[in-house]
Chain A
């Protein structure tokens, strides 16, 4: 039987259970607000958002692989495209563009014009230094780690901080070969 063809982001999104984005946006906002109250330091909140994202990403990857039928990516360029066009689409309902590749092909930018996490959000002056969307960088990092890529994902532009778009810098640090729990000589 031939392998299933990979599905487009739109097709997958149309087939998953979807909900009103408001619940998502408001829940995230309430979480960030509560974290700021409980943890007090903006840096600590950034760190925890990234950790939460990571924990989500390592599980979300399974759903992604199961529903998108995407086969193993040939190179990191393909990986970035898949995240931007299929991954983000099937979960957040938005796509990103991939730009600014470096010469080695190990580093690029994902640019989001549209971002459901930030609907109706404004950052007060007391939150200088907060990367409000840090959960997203964690999700991508966690998901990629589960498919053997160690990456660094950082925010370069953030509209909540006055920039004109949301830009994530995605950098491949290491391709980790899969480890099997068995020794060869046993």
Chain B
């Protein structure tokens, strides 16, 4: 693969700083707004990358082909590996699993911090540790990328992500993305979505 390269740390630092700026500076009191912006940035990237990577190809024949493209070629271009596992309920929901998601491997999530703090303030989130929150904020970016890429391929969808640490091996971070494809009944589909939780 010829083509201009930069160091991976450039990309990593830029993304980390982007997430940090939106979460801690621009929308520090409104994490939902920060999340939406981070996802929007990802969406833009996914749209453009998907455009570039499919310029020479014929259109995909169906949704599954498009999702497979995301799992194989697209993911390889971005992360030098393919999606490890693809599942579907055949009703418009797909689960993409990456067992060693590059961007998560650079963030350490302390498993001992996972149980709530004893703050009196009921508005403070108690169930997620700070580092887990930070990691989930980061995940809005790749979710946006996938949503942008699929939208460019003519497939409107919603993408969410979860990560879990296997107890056996702390270094393995599983990123599972749930891609819901919108058909006629959008809300009905969301109700049917398979929730995969840590």
Contacts and interface: CB of A to CB of B under 8 A. Distances in A.
Interface of A: 13, 16-24, 26-31, 33-34, 38-39, 48, 51-52, 55-56, 59-60, 63, 90-93, 116, 119, 135
Nearest first, the 5 closest Cβ-Cβ pairs linking A and B are A30-B44, A21-B4, A17-B8, A18-B5, A30-B41
Contacts of B78: 20, 23
Contacts, number: 100
Contacts of B13: 56, 59-60
Contact of B11 (A27, A52, A59, A63): A27
Contacts of A20: 1, 3-5, 77-78
Interface in B6-27: 6-11, 13-15, 17-18, 20-21, 25-26
B14 A24 contact: yes
B40 interface: yes
Given A22-B4, A24-B11, A34-B37, 12 more contacts: A13-B7, A18-B5, A19-B11, A20-B5, A27-B15, A27-B45, A30-B41, A39-B26, A48-B21, A48-B25, A59-B13, A93-B7
A52 B17 contact: yes
Main secondary structure of the interface of B (DSSP, over half): helix
A90 B7 contact: yes
Interface of B: 1, 3-11, 13-15, 17-18, 20-21, 25-26, 37, 40-42, 44-45, 48-49, 52, 77-78, 80
A30 B45 contact: yes
B7 A22 contact: no
From B8, B40, B49, residue with most partner A Cβ within 10 Å: B8
B29 to A, nearest CB: 15
Contacts of A48: 21, 25
